[in-house]
Amino acid sequence: MRTSPIQAETFKAFMADYGSYCHYMHDPLYYDYISGIQETHILGLFEEETLIGVSMISGRSVLKRYRIFTSHAGPLIQPFSNERLQFFLKEIDAYAKKQGAIKMVHSPYHIYQMRNSDGEAIDSELNNHGIMEVYKALGYSHNGFTKQLVTSEMLRYQAVLDITRDEEELMKRMDQKTRYNTRASEQMCIRVRYLEEDEYDKFIEIYKDTEERIGFDPVSSEKIKNLLRTLKDRTYLTLSYIDLEEYLAKLSEELEALVSDQKEMQSKVDSGQGTKRMKGRLNELKDLMGNKEKRLEKIRGVQAEYGNIIELSAAMYYYNNHEMVYLFSGSYPEHSMFMGTNFTTWHMIKEAKKLGLGRFNFFGLTGDFTEDSKDYGVYKFKKGYDPLIEELPGTFEKVYNRPVHKLAQKLNKI
């Protein structure tokens, strides 16, 4: 094997055919963005003349002549092995030091431990505890098995749903509440439309409102906008909404059908043609009619207060050759009865299947699966779809030049 710098076109061609784990920070669209604002290098790993791996590293200037490098979610290798990773990392170190690096940071987008939806570790051929030894052998320090958001690092846990199953099976595997809410949302007149660039502020407003209400660690509006602009050709920006006039008309039709059934059945009972089953069904119809009338009254009240078209939720989804990723979302709690988030999530799972993808990635979790956790509500929502949880190894750092690094820290340059 050997390593050498490669051109952007070579990197993009590799990524076009790459079908394994990769973060949005590996996307050629992200390269076009980051290379425009930071010093960026691309290294290729070759086996004879075949390109089998790539690593994009970006440098931030420190004390003018030195750099701190990051590998943007770690190198990609296909097919992957720890031996190949170790060789590539060693070569990356040597290259970075020649470029004046005093420090390198890796947060590899690679599975360390598979877990079930309850967060319990499970046996899997995907588990790779040996990756820790790879970094340790090369002198990297580990920032720990964190279970909280560290703003400068990726979350270590993500909930991933296998969507190679058919829709019926996916629905069956949801927990009872998630399945009920999803089916109920499909009975309402909810629609999803995709927001354009001039509507980014609408999405950010909904997301930031949710962020503040739930207590998420804040993500700057400018960072979200940059990500939207950078990845826009690989994203769906959704807005779910409901037309109450249409929904009221549907409810009225359903009530009329119940009334018609009730009248027809009552007529048979009154003429002596009824059965015991019919009499029981009449009581059921009476309850159904009562519930439908209450629903109509409630929706008319919502319409009077909020108007006819009500926006429910917004979300950002990114996709590559491997998966669709649910990056950000927000919703209005006063309209939770319409379950816009359930509707949109199911809509986008089906959209991911249409794209031929095998994974729907619900993305970040803190890894604290107890009811006391900060993100328990988010975890519970994701758990309802019966995903597996992938635990990533975390962040590794290596200081190449300790005297300069200490000086930069002392001068507050890091």
266 pLDDT tier (thresholds 50, 70, 90): confident
CB 63 within 8 A of CB 408: yes
Per the model's pLDDT, the better-predicted residue between 301 and 409 turns out to be 301
The pLDDT assigned to 279 comes to 75
Res. 151: pLDDT tops 60: no
The pLDDT assigned to 267 comes to 83
Calculate the alpha carbon distances from 324 to 163, 349, 382 in Å: 10, 8, 14
364-388 confidence digits (pLDDT tens): 899 999 999 888 999 999 999 999 9
Per the model's pLDDT, the better-predicted residue between 281 and 288 turns out to be 288
Point out which residues pair with 113 in neighbouring strands. 391
149 pLDDT tier (thresholds 50, 70, 90): low
Query: Strand 66-70 to strand 101-106: parallel, antiparallel, or no bridges (unpaired)?
Result: parallel
Across residues 55-71, what is the average pLDDT? 93
The pLDDT assigned to 274 comes to 67
pLDDT-above-70 percentage for the chain = 99
Distance CA 10, CA 28 (A): 11
117 pLDDT tier (thresholds 50, 70, 90): very high
Q: Which domains does the chain have, with CATH numbers?
A: 2-111+126-144+393-410 (3.40.630.30), 159-240+312-391 (3.40.630.30), 245-306 (1.20.58)
Q: Which residues contact 223 (CB under 8 A, 6 or more apart)?
A: none
1-41 confidence digits (pLDDT tens): 999 999 999 999 999 999 898 999 999 999 999 999 999 99
What is the number of other CB atoms lying within 10 angstroms of the CB of residue 249? 12
281 pLDDT tier (thresholds 50, 70, 90): confident
Q: Lowest-pLDDT range, 98-112, 136-150, 248-262, 291-305?
A: 136-150
The pLDDT assigned to 150 comes to 55
The pLDDT assigned to 22 comes to 93
CB 299 within 8 A of CB 337: no
CA end-to-end span of the chain, whole Å?
Answer: 35
Res. 105: pLDDT tops 90: yes
166-185 confidence digits (pLDDT tens): 999 999 999 999 999 999 99
The pLDDT assigned to 53 comes to 98
The pLDDT assigned to 152 comes to 56
What is the number of other CB atoms lying within 10 angstroms of the CB of residue 401? 15
Peptide bond preceding 108 in cis form (omega within 30 of 0): no
Res. 153: pLDDT tops 70: no
- Supply 360's token pair: 């729907």
Cα atoms in the 13 Å half-sphere on the side-chain side of 325 = 19
The pLDDT assigned to 191 comes to 97
Report helix angle 340-354 to 176-187, nearest 10.
Answer: 90
The pLDDT assigned to 275 comes to 73
